[in-house]
Amino acid sequence: MKVELIAYTPEPDIIAAVAAKLTHSKSDIDELLKEDREKLKRLLRIVIKMGHTSVVEHAYFTFAISGVSRALTHQLVRHRIASYSQQSQRYVEQDMEYVTPPSIARNEKIRKKYDEMMKKIWELYNEMKEEVPIEDARYILPNATTSKIIVSMNARSLLNFFELRCCLHAQWEIRKLAWRMLHLVKKVAPTIFEDAGPPCRTRGYCPMEKKDCIWYPK
């Protein structure tokens, strides 16, 4: 899995803070942009804790993601307030590249059968490409097939994404992706994402009431 933050709103913390302050200020926007950065960040923390997270929608982040499975991207695109551009299996011939779940990788017997099945699938896929359109040959490709996708989300959508997908009960691959994305955005917007993550870690409660979870608040 490779995850890169390839673009983002300049000074996302400040833009969100200025948006928040503007709603209760007579000052011109140019004046607000010149205010002390630390004071603006303190205001933003207060606003976010109050739940007024609409102001962070002004901050956008774009990620380049590769080496992930189609199983992951099918989950990812369920987060609707976002923009996606994914590599097409219709126009791009697929090499034999696939993701192996850790549980399979640890089981030598199952791993061998898994790899053998992948080899058979791609042998048939390559044969089918000679007889039928690629868009039809792709029907036999598994969820494990690797994919590439560019994703853009505003900060409010990301906060929701991290709350749901950083949780230990999220599927392992998208959880791994979520934590990597969170580490990247924290570097450029530390105030917005200061308390981002699963609610058990950020707010001390589990909305799923999974008391057997090792992260369940004690």
**pLDDT digit string (tens) for 148-187?**
999 999 999 999 999 999 999 999 999 999 999 999 999 9
Element (H, E) at 111: helix 108-129
Domains (range + CATH), the chain: 2-84+146-202 (3.30.1360.170), 99-140 (no CATH)
Helix (H) or strand (E) holding 109: helix 108-129
Helix, strand, coil: what percent of the chain each, to 5?
50, 15, 35
Dump pLDDT digits (tens) for 130-147: 999 999 999 999 999 999
**Active-site position among 138, 165, 180, 201:** 165
What pLDDT score was predicted for residue 209?
83
Active site residue 165: yes
As a whole number, the mean pLDDT across the chain is 94
Q: What is the pLDDT of residue 204?
A: 84
